[in-house]
Amino acid sequence: MMLNNAYLLIGASVLMHVAWNLMARHVDSRANYLWWGLLAHLTILGPYAVWHLLQNANWQPPLVTALFSTSVANTLYFIALRRAYHYAPVALVYPLARSSPILILLWSWLFFSQLISIWELVAISISVIGLWILAASSRHGDTRHALPWTILAALSTSVYSLSDKVAVEYLPGFAEQLGFISIGYATSFLELTLVQRVETNRWLPQTRPSIAYILIGGLFIGTAYALVVRAMGQLPAAHVVSFTNGGIVLAVLLSILAFGEREHWRQRLVGALVVSGGLVLLGWLS
């Protein structure tokens, strides 16, 4: 039943996404936790999921185009986010990169002639303004150099979200949807490996997280994304991506209440409440 309820799918995805991001906080940055997580996903779930994709997907030209678009955009997203983090902290970069629902609405209107109500636009805009408030609460880093990479990350998110929306119509089951994600992640993994080689002169990260962290990352990173893709079979892409930003709200609350991170906590709390208000309104309208 859960796999047929878009809101439960998004909720499970948010919990998985927050879980592996919290683990990343405790991993040495030299370990490149995302690299290990993608490798684990491709090793544990990839073969099974890709086999189902090849066997059962409805292989039409739109699916092939979407697979290519998602693979390229996902790779650009990871690279852009990595470069942005080089100049500014996650607290500044990530909320701005997740402002993509506004872009998704724009591309949906321009390229797919999809119209939305003024209230849907208001709800999504409120949630995005909340993200900007969260980003403004972080006053560290080189914003000028981080911003172009952050914008590229947001653009990439909008592209792969729309191509995911196209693809889900040709992917009959969750295994096929997970296979679709796995192909894109394989491309991203290869590109991240090349980037790592250029930056560190090493094919492997300098150190390795614990096996437990790698296994959990491998199980959660791809599954969380596939749940989002499945939810797009029932809701507009802009709605789904907006709702997944509830994970940022949860992360902010955990950082303040559980981890005692008090810097600019009032502004961060206001931002989280504004995001939540926009999502509540969007949920009521959906």
The token duo for 177 is 């949807």
- Asked if residues 166 and 229 have their Cβ atoms less than 8 Å apart, the reply is no
Q: Rounded distance, CA 142 to CA 266, Å? A: 23
- Report the 10 Å Cβ neighbour count for 174: 17
| Predicted local confidence at residue 21, as pLDDT | 85
SS3 (DSSP) at 206 = coil
For residues 144-168, one letter each, b for 16 or more C-beta atoms within 10 angstroms of the residue's C-beta and e for the rest, the string is eebbebbbbbbbbbbbbbbbbbbbb
Q: Which residues of the chain have pLDDT under 70?
A: 1-3
Cβ–Cβ under 8 Å, residues 178 and 223: yes
The tens digit of pLDDT for each residue in 249-263 reads 999 998 888 777 878
Angle between the 118-136 and 90-97 helix axes, to the nearest 10 degrees?
170
Residue keyed to tokens 């080089």: 86
pLDDT, position 38 = 95
pTM for the model: 0.94
Dist CA 78 CA 179 (whole Å): 19
Helix (H, G, I), strand (E, B) or coil at 209: coil
CB contact at 8 A, 184 and 74:
yes
CA distances from 197 to 69, 192, 204, 206 (A): 25, 9, 8, 11
pLDDT tens string 31-82: 889 999 999 999 999 999 999 999 999 999 999 999 999 999 999 999 999 8
pLDDT at 2: 61
Buried b (16+ CB within 10 A) or exposed e, 232-260: bbbbbbbbbbbbbbbbbbbbbeebbeeee
The Cα 189–Cα 31 span in angstroms is 15
DSSP string, 78-133: HHHHHHHHHHS-HHHHHHHHTTTHHHHHHHHHHHH-----HHHHHHHHHHHHHHHH
Q: Please say whether the beta carbons of 90 and 21 come within 8 A.
A: no
Q: CA of 191: how far to CAs of 43, 73, 194, 195, 218, in Å?
A: 17, 12, 5, 6, 18
What separation in angstroms does the CA of 83 have from each of 28, 37, 88, 234?
18, 19, 9, 34
The pLDDT score that the predictor gives to residue 68 is 97
The pLDDT of residue 1 is 53
